[in-house]
Amino acid sequence: MRRIAVALLGASVLVGIIAPVASAAPVTAVASGDADLSPVYGPFFGVMGSASAMVFSALGAAYGTIPGSPH
């Protein structure tokens, strides 16, 4: 249980560092060139998707190490 807590703490620190950096740059252009096709909340879901991927990967790594640890 302690390893899961440490993994969660590490993931939350990593997300706390990366999320503000990723959202700090203003989005001024769209790849397609048409700003009407992209919603204003698009970057939010992009950052949240990346953050949740990191958190779930840390959870999976912590869960995967539990069977190999001596009790």
* Extents of the domains making up the chain: 1-19+59-66
Q: How many CB atoms lie within 10 A of CB 27?
A: 12
Mean pLDDT of 12-40: 63
Measured distance CA(42)–CA(22) in Å, rounded: 13
Measured distance CA(20)–CA(15) in Å, rounded: 9
Q: Please give the share of the chain, as a percent, with pLDDT higher than 70.
A: 49
18 within 8 A of 50, measured Cβ to Cβ? yes
- Token pair 């560092």 in the structure block, residue: 17
pTM listed for this prediction:
0.46
Q: What is the pLDDT of residue 69?
A: 77
